[in-house]
């Protein structure tokens, strides 16, 4: 599957890693829900690190559409709160 | 619990999709898409230029604030030497405000630099993909049947579109950030215009407004501390004899400070 980290690169990630990716993403969002900033920062970093580590970067000249798009690495806790909880789910 | 799954990536993907410029009629979109892509690339360049402009403005303000800090510091020392505590205090208050602003500007310049780097990288990626699209579209035109070409074209256009949308998101973030910084730059300009960092020797009779503003803005304890320190360093009071004063014993002169209205000069003395 193809995963994009917004503002960075697209990665080809083996399909069997999908569950792990999902679990990491869920962990990060749960921290946003519970207002746990440090936990969020840690898990969000782990999520992106996981993709970079287990994925293979897709060349700039290759044209692919992503299956999953993750937020940019400099996403702040505040932004995450706006985007991924409550009201934030309604697109702006 | 299940509701949380994929929320983050779903939201981001939805945002990207919203920015995707979907072609309505793939058959005639090959060249149109390409043209559109090139146009968008120009916009990214403009976006980067805006960030650079904002950064330059902040850097210029930084330079002028740094000069003010040096000048006001010198003036505070001169004022203490001359025994004019009120003037020294005013200079230190101004210096304090300037330093606070300077710190804020510094953080923002760094942040803008990061934005600029990110956008430049994104622009390069987008350029590579557009170039690749250009080659690909010629191949598609030449090699595929109309029906198959349609599928391939829309795939390729979506892929490039996604890259474009991603740059679009990065630009939005950069614009939001530069907006904040513009607000800060404006605030600093206003302070400058109000004379907050001006030469204290230029103080005229109409200084009450500035004084009031200063009192609100500056942190008094910091100024008090620094004033005491300066007095310690220079030798407080207006001892008339310009005799070489031993560095630390200077403040024990018999004459109490003449300037000011009973200012807390004693705590500086040992």
Strands (E), B211-270: none
Residues of chain B scoring pLDDT < 70: 1-5, 21-29, 201-221, 236-270
Measure Cα distances from B39 to B34, B217, B254 in Å. 9, 47, 78
Asked whether the beta carbons of residue B173 and residue A72 sit closer than 8 angstroms, the reply is yes
Q: Is the minimum CB–CB distance between B53 and chain A shorter than 8 Å?
A: no
| Separation CA B38–CA B152 (nearest Å) | 20
Interface check for B192 against chain A (CB to CB < 8 A): the answer is no
Contacts of A69 in chain B (CB under 8 A): 9, 12-13, 16, 162, 166
- Whether B189 and chain A come into contact, CB under 8 Å, resolves to no
DSSP structure string for A5-66: ETTS-EEE--GGGHHHHHHHHHHHHHHHHTT-HHHHHHHHHHHHHHHHHHSEEPPTT-----
Return the H-helix or E-strand segment holding B2.
Answer: none
pLDDT digits (tens, 9 = 90+) for B140-154: 888 888 888 878 887
- B44: helix, strand or coil: helix
Pairing mode of beta strands A10-12, A56-57: antiparallel
Contact A45, A70 (CB under 8 A): no
- Name chain A contacts of B170, Cβ cutoff 8 Å: 6-7, 72
CB of A90 within 8 Å of a chain B CB? The answer is: no
> What are the CA-CA distances from residue B156 to residues A45, B4, B131, B134, B138 (Å)?
31, 31, 12, 10, 12
Out of A30-34, A42-46, A57-61, B155-159, the most confident range is A42-46
Contact B132 A83 (CB under 8 A): no
CA distances from B49 to A8, B115, B117, B175, B199 (A): 20, 11, 12, 11, 35
First and final CA of chain B: distance in angstroms?
A: 67
Whether chain B has a CB inside 8 Å of the CB on A45: the answer is no
Segment A61-78 shows an average pLDDT of 90
Which pLDDT value is given to residue A42?
95
Contacts of residue B252, defined as CB under 8 A and 6 or more positions apart, other chains included, come to: B269, B270
Mutate to test the interface with B, among A63, A72, A78 (most CBs of B within 10 A): A63
For residue A55, which phi and psi values (nearest 5 degrees)? Answer: -100, 165
Cβ(B169)–Cβ(B15) below 8 Å: yes
In terms of pTM, does the model score above 0.90?
no
- What is residue B25's predicted lDDT score, i.e. its pLDDT? 55
Residues B119 and B97 sit within 8 Å (Cβ to Cβ): no
Q: What is the pLDDT of residue B29?
A: 63
Chain B interface includes A88 (CB < 8 A): yes
CA-based nearest residue in chain A for residue B168: A7
Considering only CB atoms, A26 lies closest to which of B5, B16, B170, namely: B5
């Amino acid at each position: 599957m193809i995963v994009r980290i917004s503002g960075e690169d697209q990665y080809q990630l083996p399909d069997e890693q999908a569950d792990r990716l999902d679990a990491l993403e869920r962990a990060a969002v749960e921290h946003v829900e519970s207002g746990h900033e440090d936990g969020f920062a840690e898990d969000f970093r782990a999520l992106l690190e996981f993709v970079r580590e287990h994925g293979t970067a897709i060349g700039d000249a290759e044209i692919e559409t992503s299956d999953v798009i993750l937020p940019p690495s400099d996403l702040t806790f505040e932004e995450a709160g706006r985007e991924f909880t409550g009201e934030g789910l309604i697109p702006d | 619990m299940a509701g949380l799954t994929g929320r983050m990536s779903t939201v981001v993907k939805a945002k990207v999709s919203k920015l995707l410029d979907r072609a309505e009629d793939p058959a005639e979109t090959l060249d149109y898409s390409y043209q559109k892509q090139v146009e968008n690339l120009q916009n990214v360049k403009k976006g980067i230029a805006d960030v650079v402009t904002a950064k330059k403005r902040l850097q210029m303000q930084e330079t002028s604030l740094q000069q003010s800090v040096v000048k006001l510091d010198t003036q505070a020392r001169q004022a203490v030497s001359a025994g004019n505590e009120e003037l020294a205090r005013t200079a230190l208050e101004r210096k304090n405000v300037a330093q606070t602003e300077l710190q804020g500007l510094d953080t923002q310049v760094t942040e803008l630099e990061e934005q600029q780097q990110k956008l430049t990288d994104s622009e390069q990626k987008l350029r590579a993909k557009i170039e690749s699209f250009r080659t690909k579209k010629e191949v598609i035109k030449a090699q595929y049947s109309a029906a198959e070409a349609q599928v391939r074209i829309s795939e390729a256009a979506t892929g490039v579109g996604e890259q474009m949308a991603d740059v679009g998101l990065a630009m939005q973030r950069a614009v939001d950030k530069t907006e904040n910084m513009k607000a800060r730059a404006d605030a600093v300009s206003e302070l400058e215009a109000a004379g907050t960092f001006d030469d204290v020797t230029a103080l005229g009779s109409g200084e009450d407004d500035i004084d009031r503003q200063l009192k609100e803005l500056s942190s008094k304890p910091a100024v008090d501390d620094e004033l005491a320190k300066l007095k310690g360093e220079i030798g407080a009071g207006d001892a008339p004899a310009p005799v070489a004063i031993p560095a630390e014993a200077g403040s024990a002169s018999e004459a109490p400070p003449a300037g000011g209205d009973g200012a807390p000069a004693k705590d500086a003395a040992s």
